[in-house]
Amino acid sequence: MSEEERKSGGEFEREPVPDSALLGPGKFWGMYAGEHTAGTEFMIGPLFLAAGASLQDLFFGLLLGNVLAVLTWRFLVTPIAMSKRMTLYYQLERIAGGSLVRFYNLVNGLLFCFLAGAMVTVSASAVGIPFDIFYEAPAATFGFGAPSFTALVVVVGVVMAVVAAAGYETVARVANIAAPWMIAVFAACGIVSLVQMNATSVGALTEGRFWAEAIDFVQEKNGPQTFGFWQIVVFAWLCNGAMHFGMADLSIFRFARCKSSGWAPSIGMFLGHYMAWIAAGLLLAALIKVAPDATVGSDGKVSANPGLLAFQALGWTGIICVVIAGWTTANPTIYRAGLALQGVMPKSSRTTMTLVAGAVATVAGAFPNLSAQLLGFVGTYGTVLGPMGAVILVDFYLMKKFGLVDEYAAHSGVGINLAVLIAWLLPVGVGLYLIFWKGLFAAYAVIPAWFACGVIYLALSKLTQKPVAAK
Amino acid sequence: MVAQIVSLLALAATIVPCLLYFFGAIGLDAVKLTALIGTIVWFIATPFWMGRKLPVDAKEVEI
């Protein structure tokens, strides 16, 4: 291993992955199964119920949305990843310039940290159950929970950060080991919940009254809300928008030996974002049925406490599952955030940056309301990060066809490629305005921003590119 | 091979009792107990066979 490689952790972070380091599809299937059957599923499933999604819309909307997500990974991300074999960050640096990518990396890393923070919260909600320390979302977005819960979040966050800093090999191994068991536990939670709601006959299951009654209860406490079929489709498709449309998973698929690895996210989607979401939604419906008071917080509103939901269905196994599910998702996320932050300071070690990312995630995890707003957060996250994927796609497929220079920053030596800067910030700015000031459902902004970014990047490149010496 | 069979039985202990509960054959306490035993056994047995044989480049490639 060269000196430079050793400093960067030996993970080919600033060079194409050599053939000798390529991995077969099995590694990717195990990794994705662990990543998308996660602690957040315990949160997102109940949020669908709380938002008023009908059971029928949930079944068919999630099916369509997940198919679209898998196709995006396979046909958008994998071909570019296998051709370039570079991390997202290094590839962007060659296109957008070092200074611009440092800013993007900072935004990227912070958003990853907040996502990981939500998972720290979820894990802490389960760890707290045996100690009578309960998760409860305060009214303010940046309000703390009980002091004991905040202390618990710190402990859980520190453990997660240290494990993530140990490296991806450790994380992948734990995710591999836990994945089949975790999937079984999610399924078990769903089945137990059905029995608790007396939904054990074909008639009761198809009628779905147990679900409708739970929605009525939530809406009586929280006020009326609707979450329709297309919202479910778009959410399921784009909740990982930063990973596929945004090309963050280039950093993973650059190791792929064959294109079939690109189908690996399907195991995560259909077990984690289909079965597990529905099972988690059933957990809240069941708790509403058997102990409605336990679902109502001090503010009189229904909120989902992931640890409590799993505990009432499967006891200690449920608690262990929530902790491990949160852990196996938070770890790769903190790891990725570490990579992103390392892009800001390339001379720093990945281990140090992973610990920094873990610390930020822990602070974010101390605000329980962030995890309670996951439906909106992941859409915003895709809107901000997703468009850069369009820059990579246009650069890879279209620049030469339009007589332009690809990887312009690498060839011209500019620190900031203005075409990329404007193409990214303009649609993202409009998207954030529509989300935060006009109340647009966040996931709806991802694809328009992505397309706008690609078109603007191509047009501005045509206007701003100057001839460069061939390298 | 033995560890793999033990893992399989542990996984079955996690999920099968739920199905028995669904069909009214056992109670919820039995489901919770067997699931916990299955969980403990799974995490003891599975590391013996899953992910032990890493590729030769594992020290350099972490995925």
What is the DSSP code (8-state) at residue A18? P
ipTM reported for the complex surpasses 0.90: no
Q: Using DSSP, state whether A23 is helix, strand or coil.
A: strand
Q: Which residues of A touch B15 (CB under 8 A)?
A: 184, 187-188
Q: How wide is the angle at C-alpha A44 spanned by C-alphas A356 and A371, nearest 5°?
A: 35
What is the model's pLDDT at position A27?
Answer: 81
What is the model's pLDDT at position B61?
Answer: 30
For residue A70, the number of C-alpha atoms closer than 13 Å in the C-beta half-sphere is: 23
Q: Which A positions 182-241 lie with beta carbon below 8 A of chain B?
A: 184-185, 187-188, 191-192, 194-195, 200
For residues A373-377, average pLDDT: 85
Treating both helix axes as pointing N-terminal to C-terminal, what angle do A316-344 and A25-36 enclose, rounded to 10 degrees? 110
Could A317 and B35 be called an inter-chain contact, meaning their C-beta atoms sit closer than 8 Å? yes
CB distance from A410 to chain B under 8 Å? no
Q: Which B positions 26-55 lie with beta carbon below 8 A of chain A?
A: 28, 31-33, 35-36, 38-39, 42-43, 46-47, 50-51, 54-55
Q: Which residues of B touch A320 (CB under 8 A)?
A: 39
Would you say residue A8 has pLDDT above 60?
no
Distance CA A40, CA A372 (A): 10
What is the model's pLDDT at position A89?
Answer: 80
- A333 in Cβ contact with A143 (< 8 Å): no
Q: Using DSSP, state whether A302 is helix, strand or coil.
A: strand
Would you say residue A441 has pLDDT above 70?
yes
Percentage above 90 pLDDT, chain A? 50
Would you say residue A445 has pLDDT above 90?
yes
Could B54 and A252 be called an inter-chain contact, meaning their C-beta atoms sit closer than 8 Å? no
Residue with tokens 């690609």: A454
- Which of B9, B18, B41 has the most A C-beta neighbours within 10 Å, making it the best mutation to test the interface with A? B18
What is the model's pLDDT at position A296?
Answer: 85
- Rounded to the nearest angstrom, the gap between the alpha carbon of residue A303 and the centroid of all alpha carbons in its chain is 21
Closest CA to A134 of A401, A409, A379, A319: A319
Distance between A174 CA and the closest CA of chain B, angstroms: 9
Q: Which residues of A touch B63 (CB under 8 A)?
A: 23, 27, 31, 168-169, 172, 252, 255
Q: Using CB atoms within 10 A of its CB, is residue A446 exposed (0-12), middle (13-18) or buried (19+)?
A: buried
- A1 in Cβ contact with B60 (< 8 Å): yes
What is the model's pLDDT at position A225?
Answer: 86
**pLDDT, tens digit, 9 for 90 and up, residues A100-156:** 988 887 887 888 888 888 888 888 888 888 888 887 777 777 788 888 889 999 999
- Which of A1, A176, A185, A255 has the most B C-beta neighbours within 10 Å, making it the best mutation to test the interface with B? A185
- Which of A191, A282, A331 has the most B C-beta neighbours within 10 Å, making it the best mutation to test the interface with B? A191
Could B63 and A1 be called an inter-chain contact, meaning their C-beta atoms sit closer than 8 Å? no
Could B60 and A1 be called an inter-chain contact, meaning their C-beta atoms sit closer than 8 Å? yes
What is the DSSP code (8-state) at residue A11? S
Distance CA A413, CA A403 (A): 19
Would you say residue A348 has pLDDT above 50?
yes
**pLDDT, tens digit, 9 for 90 and up, residues A20-64:** 888 888 888 877 766 677 777 888 999 999 899 999 999 999 999
- A186 in Cβ contact with A37 (< 8 Å): yes
For residue B4, the number of C-alpha atoms closer than 13 Å in the C-beta half-sphere is: 5
Q: Using DSSP, state whether A202 is helix, strand or coil.
A: helix
CB distance from A106 to chain B under 8 Å? no
Q: What type of residue sits at position A312?
A: Q
- Cβ neighbors of A230 (< 8 A, separation 6 or more) are A61
Q: How wide is the angle at C-alpha A396 spanned by C-alphas A390 and A401, nearest 5°?
A: 110
- A47 in Cβ contact with A210 (< 8 Å): no
CB distance from B58 to chain A under 8 Å? yes
- A411 in Cβ contact with A417 (< 8 Å): no
Distance CA A180, CA A326 (A): 15
Residue A350's pLDDT band (boundaries 50, 70, 90)?
confident
Closest CA to A118 of A322, A352, A310: A322
For residues A436-443, average pLDDT: 94
What is the model's pLDDT at position A281?
Answer: 95
CA distances, A222 to each of A212, A294, A400, B46 (Å): 15, 15, 54, 44
Distance CA A63, CA A44 (A): 16
Distance CA A280, CA A8 (A): 39
Distance CA A70, CA A48 (A): 21
Q: Which residues of A touch B58 (CB under 8 A)?
A: 169
Closest CA to A377 of A265, A242, A275, A284: A242
- Please give the sequence-ordered ranges of beta strands (E in DSSP) within A350-392, or none if there are none: none
